[in-house]
């Protein structure tokens, strides 16, 4: 679906703004309550995000509407790596054609879009947050090699999993099934998660910034 001029204007209205003590009150304008997973996203932003930013263990960026002064989305990032060895990770070594035991990455610890923005169909996460994130990771790579963006999502959070694979173009790594054996990542075209996977199991996903 193409983005028209009016949508581009709406997307540009959301300004990436680092979360600090000075603007922490803005988090109270963010609401995400359409599911239990969405509630966790809201709870983290309001209870933990600022503390972790001040501790230096993660950094949160708010996407604030300049016109209305509310938080439409946010992303919390940290540094990490993805192993290229092990039953569920060897595929990554083949994709990247590397012999290195791990590859540097920027981790999406949390990402969320408010209920109000989600209901508009604007797709702020895909069209505003993700392009900003890619640009930030490219900047990191000027001085340190971290060519991947990593994201872990639980099988039970099926709507999010499908969004990240289908719309955000993340590649999901193989997953341990209930029987303890690695299986190919779940097919995102399915209407519900396959029964062979526990809903609490996390799927490791990555996006190669130079391949997109």
* 177-206 pLDDT tens trace: 999 998 999 999 999 999 999 999 999 999
Q: In a 3-state reduction of DSSP, which class is residue 123?
A: coil
pLDDT < 50: residue spans in the chain: none
What are the φ/ψ torsions at residue 60 (nearest 5 degrees)? -110, 135
Give dist(CA 76, CA 84) in Å, integer: 24
What CATH number should be reported for the domain holding residue 132? 3.40.630.30
* pLDDT, position 83: 86
Q: In a 3-state reduction of DSSP, which class is residue 34?
A: coil
Question: Structure tokens of 114?
Answer: 């408010």
* pLDDT, position 36: 80
The residue segments making up the domain with residue 73 are: 5-208
* 165-175 pLDDT tens trace: 999 999 999 99
Q: Please tell me the pTM assigned to this model.
A: 0.92
Total domain count for the chain?
1
């Amino acid at each position: 679906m193409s983005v028209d001029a009016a949508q581009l204007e709406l997307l540009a209205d959301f300004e990436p703004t680092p979360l600090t003590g000075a603007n922490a009150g803005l988090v109270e304008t963010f609401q995400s309550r359409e599911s239990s997973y969405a509630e966790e996203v809201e709870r983290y932003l309001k209870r933990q995000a600022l503390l972790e930013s001040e501790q230096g263990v993660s950094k949160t960026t708010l996407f604030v509407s300049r016109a209305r002064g509310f938080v439409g989305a946010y992303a919390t990032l940290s540094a990490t790596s993805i192993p290229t060895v092990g039953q569920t990770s060897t595929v990554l070594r083949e994709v990247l054609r590397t012999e290195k035991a791990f590859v540097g990455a920027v981790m999406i610890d949390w990402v969320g879009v408010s209920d109000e923005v989600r209901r508009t169909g604007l797709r702020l996460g895909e069209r505003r947050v993700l392009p900003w994130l890619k640009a930030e990771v490219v900047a990191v790579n000027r001085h340190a090699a971290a060519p991947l963006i990593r994201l872990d999502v639980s099988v039970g959070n099926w709507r999010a999993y499908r969004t990240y694979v289908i719309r955000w173009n993340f590649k999901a790594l193989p997953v341990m099934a209930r029987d303890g054996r690695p299986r190919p990542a779940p097919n995102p075209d399915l209407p519900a998660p396959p029964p062979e996977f526990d809903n609490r199991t996390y799927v490791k996903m990555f996006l190669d910034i130079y391949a997109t």
